[in-house]
Amino acid sequence: MDGHSIAEVWDRVLGTQPAPPQWIALGSAGLALLAVLPQPVWRITRNVVTIAHEGGHGLTALLTGRRLSGIRLHSDTSGLTVSSGKPTGPGMILTAAAGYTAPSLLGLGGAALLAAGHTTALLWISIALLAGLLIMIRNAFGLLSVVATGAAFFLVSWYGSSELQGAFAYLGVWFLLLGGVRPVAELQRKRRHGGARDSDADQLARLTGVAALVWVTVFLVVALACLGLGGSWLVGPVPPFG
């Protein structure tokens, strides 16, 4: 790639792109629902939410000064992030709280970028985050999941038309916003039946003395707030900071 081509790529990444027709924004929301609601489909697509969930744990651990040992993603859509450091305190609390909120917060950030016209930037930021996550993956299925997801983003961003890039980006953001809600409901259902007693919410309860149900409620409020706000940006006017 010559210098001129590199400059063109950077101009596109840093520049803005026109918003796709509203039917794409609404249609991608419908497709995202179809990727979240039917259980047979969710068993597959939930892996993307797990990537965001465990990535949230890992990134927060690093930002709060903890030492990240590795991340594992499993074929049953569960995951594990191992970090070391002080076993109590704000760093540990924020790290534990980051998992269930990460998909929704990433979706909200993506919605802000799309509403401001930064479709290409969103795709390349996603690739960069996945590349950073890949370094910390410690099992074969996790490597396959992250590489496959990153490859999809790269192929669309590099070879796809502007229309395809817009549709793919909107679909991905809607999926994170909608897919961030369902795992919280699943968590509470498991807890109600006596399962998931070492869940993030239960760990937070032990760390803070605040009931696990309160933390589940916090996760749900964050997810619904991000869905409402991010969804309004995707189908409405550009946010003030765009």
Residue 196 pLDDT more than 80? no
Burial class (CB in 10 A: 0-12, 13-18, 19+), 119: buried
Q: Is residue 38 part of a domain?
A: no
pLDDT at 121: 94
Domain with 178, as residue range(s), is: 46-235
CB-CB contact of 95 with 64 (8 Å): yes
Q: Is residue 213 part of a domain?
A: yes
Q: Is residue 94 part of a domain?
A: yes
Q: What is the pTM of this model?
A: 0.92
Predicted confidence band of residue 236 (pLDDT cuts 50, 70, 90): confident
Q: Is residue 16 part of a domain?
A: no
Q: Is residue 118 part of a domain?
A: yes
pLDDT at 199: 94
d(CA 97, CA 101): 7
Residue 161 pLDDT more than 70? yes
Burial class (CB in 10 A: 0-12, 13-18, 19+), 217: middle
Residues in the chain, how many? 242
If one counts the domains in the chain, the total is 1
Predicted confidence band of residue 7 (pLDDT cuts 50, 70, 90): low
- Which amino acid type is present at position 205? A
Burial class (CB in 10 A: 0-12, 13-18, 19+), 133: buried
pLDDT at 193: 85
Collapsed DSSP state (helix, strand, coil) of residue 133: helix
pLDDT at 195: 79
